[in-house]
Amino acid sequence: MCEEKRFDKCVIFDLDGTLTKSEEGIFNCVRYAAEKMGLTAPQGEALRRFIGPPLMWGFQTQMGLSEEDAKQAVAFYRERYTTVGLLENRVYPGIRRLLRMLKAQGCYVAIATGKPQGPAERIIAHFGLTKYFDRIVGPTDSMGPEKEWLIRKALPETFGEAWMVGDRSFDVEGGHAAGIFSIGVGYGYGTEEELRGSGCDAYCETVQDLIDFLCPGQEAPEGVFLSIEGMDGSGKSTQIALLTDALDKFGFEVVHSREPGGCKVAEAIRRVLLDVNNVGMTDVTEALLYAASRAQHVREVIRPVVKSGKVLLCDRYVDSSVAYQGGGRQLGVQKILDINASAVDGTWPMTTVYLDIDRETSLKRRAAASVLDRIEMEKDDFHARTEAAYRELIARDPQRFVVVDATRTPGEIGDDIARQVLGRIMEAEK
Ligand code: TYD
C-alpha cells in the first residue's frame, strides 16, 4: 500500500548506534562465548571493537582464535544473543520524541539495518516502536547486507526529499549510493571525523540536534506526568531510580522532581514544613503551605517539562496532602482536595504508583532511620490514618493508581512497576 502513495519526506534510520545502543548485549554475549570456550574475555578497547564489524573478525583478531575456534565462539555468541542478548539494548533518549514528531509531520519513516531483519523487528517490537515505522529492512536469506540495497528497499516507490540517518561512514555512503541525502549522528559508534570524511550532508552531534534539523520549529508532542506515593519507608527512592532506568532504556527522557519542593520557592517552603523546630504550626497552615509549594511547582516545573515532551516523575504529589493532612491530621479528604484545587488547576498525573507496605514494616523502617523530619516523628495512629486516606484515594480513582506490593525484593517491585507503567505510557502514545 505504501508504494502507491507519494511521500514528500522520507527518513530512513540505521538501527545500532542510531536508534538503539546495543553494546550491553554485545559485550555480554562476547563474555558468554569466551566463558563457554574456557577463555578470558577481552576487555576495554578490545571488547569495544566487537561493535560493528563481523563477529568472526572480532573473535579472530581481538581474541586471537583460529578460524575453527572463532566459528564455535560465534555459535555460542548467537546462542545467547537470540534469546536474551538482543534485548539488552537501549533506545537513545529523545528518539521516541523524534519518531512521534516525524509521524506528526506525515513523514515516511523506515529502518535499513545491517542486523538481520528478524532480530531487528523483535528489538523494535520490544520497545513498542513498531507503530512508528512504515518498513523495517535488514538482511534476509535472499538479500545481503549491502547498505545501498537495504536503503533502496526501505524507501517507498515515489518520494520527494529523503534522508538516510546513521552513525557510521557506510550509512552515509550507502545513502548517497541509493541517491538520497545522508545525515551523520555523533552519539553512536562513529566519530565526527569519520562521518564528515565520508561526506555527510549534515552532521548532528546529539539527538536534540537531529530533532532540530528534521523538525525545525515543530512543537514537541505532549509528555507524561507520573507520581509515586507511599508511606514513609516504603522504598520510594530505590523505586524511582529503578523506574527511571527502565524508562530511559525505552528512550523516554525522565526528569525528576519532588514535593514539597522541586524549585526554589517550593524548596524554601519545604524547609519551613519539615523543620522540627516549627512545633507551633497549625494543621491548616501546614496544608496551605503544601498547597502553596505545589502551586509554584506545577507552573514552574511540571507543566513546562510535560509540554517539552518529556516524562516528569514526581516523588509525592497531591495524594500525599490528602493522606497526611487529610487523613493523618484529620482535616478530611475533601477539604484537602478543595484547598489544592486552585494549586493544581487540573494538572493530575496520568499514573500514580503506590508502594504498598503494611504499617509494621513502615514503622520498623522509620525506626531504623537516623534522622526523622517533623512528619515522620508523628505517632503511629497518625500514620494509620494516613494509610487509610491513601486507601480511600485509591478506591476513588482506581484507574490512575498502579498499586504494587512493596514488601518484595527491590528488583521484583521494580520489574512490576516498569511493566505496568511502560504498558500505560505506550498505550497512551497511540
Ligand atoms: P521527604 O523527605 O520527601 O520524605 P519521603 O522521602 O518519605 O517522601 O519528606 C516529605 C514528608 O512530607 C513526608 O513525611 C510526607 C510529607 N508530606 C505531607 O505531609 N504532605 C504533602 O503534601 C507532601 C508532598 C508530603
pTM above 0.95, yes or no: no
Q: Answer whether 259 contacts ligand 1 (Cβ < 6 A).
A: yes
Question: If you measure from the C-alpha of residue 259 to the centroid of ligand 1, how many angstroms do you get, rounded to a whole number?
Answer: 7
Weakest mean pLDDT among 18-32, 202-216, 363-377: 363-377
Question: If you measure from the C-alpha of residue 55 to the centroid of ligand 1, how many angstroms do you get, rounded to a whole number?
Answer: 52
Atom 20 (ligand 1): residue with closest C-alpha? 321
Does the pLDDT at position 11 exceed 70?
A: yes
Q: How confident is the model at residue 162 (pLDDT cuts 50, 70, 90)?
A: very high
280: burial class by Cβ within 10 Å (0-12, 13-18, 19+)? exposed
Question: If you measure from the C-alpha of residue 232 to the centroid of ligand 1, how many angstroms do you get, rounded to a whole number?
Answer: 8
Distance CA 381, CA 430 (A): 45
What's the average model confidence in pLDDT over 357-383? 81
> What does pLDDT average to over the chain?
94
Question: If you measure from the C-alpha of residue 283 to the centroid of ligand 1, how many angstroms do you get, rounded to a whole number?
Answer: 15
Q: Answer whether 324 contacts ligand 1 (Cβ < 6 A).
A: yes
pLDDT on residue 4: 62
What percent of the chain shows pLDDT beyond 70?
A: 99
CB half-sphere exposure, 201, CA atoms < 13 A: 17
Are the beta carbons of 269 and 343 closer than 8 angstroms? Answer: no
Q: How confident is the model at residue 376 (pLDDT cuts 50, 70, 90)?
A: confident
